[in-house]
């Protein structure tokens, strides 16, 4: 079981991700609909998530800005971007994100990247 924070401004997408990940045995420890909420939530968590699923385009604070601030707090977190904008791949990889999954996403692809993280850590 991995601890996961979901940062996604599209409510139905966030809920689908939450339900599917929980069905695969993971624990959702945070659900945020913009970068500011995500960062506040992340700071308040005593135990940080193993993985953050991060949208790029969100109101108030985008995923790139949010991720940079989160990585300053904990450089070891694994951030998987899920975005329709694949032009950001070089930028997100440069700041230390683990991967980018393009929307519309295939849930098996998300599980595959999570498996890579699990394998990478052991």
Per residue in 84-116, pLDDT tens?
988 999 999 999 999 999 998 889 999 999 999
End-to-end Cα, the chain, rounded Å: 14
Q: What are the b/e assignments for 35-48, b being 16+ CB within 10 Å?
A: bbbbbebbeeeeeb
64-80 residue pLDDT tens: 999 999 999 999 999 99
The percent of residues in the chain predicted with pLDDT above 70, rounded, is: 98
Instruction: Indicate whether 120 pLDDT > 80.
Output: no
Contacts of 103 (CB under 8 A, 6+ apart): 82, 83, 84
The residues near 118 (Cβ < 8 Å, ≥ 6 apart) are 2
Q: Give the per-residue pLDDT at 122.
A: 46
Q: What is the pLDDT of residues 10-23, one digit of tens each?
A: 999 999 999 999 99
Neighbours of 25 (CB within 10 A): 8
């Amino acid at each position: 079981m991995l601890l996961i924070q979901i940062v996604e401004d599209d409510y139905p997408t966030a809920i689908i991700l939450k339900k599917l990940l929980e069905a695969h045995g993971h624990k959702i420890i945070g659900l945020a609909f913009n970068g500011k909420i995500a960062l506040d939530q992340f700071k308040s968590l005593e135990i940080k998530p193993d993985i953050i699923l991060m949208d790029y385009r969100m109101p108030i604070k985008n995923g790139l800005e949010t991720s940079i601030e989160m990585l300053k707090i904990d450089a070891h977190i694994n951030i998987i971007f899920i975005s329709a904008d694949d032009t950001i791949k070089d930028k997100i990889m440069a700041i230390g994100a683990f991967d980018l999954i393009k929307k519309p996403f295939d849930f098996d692809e998300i599980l595959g990247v999570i498996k890579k993280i699990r394998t990478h850590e052991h």
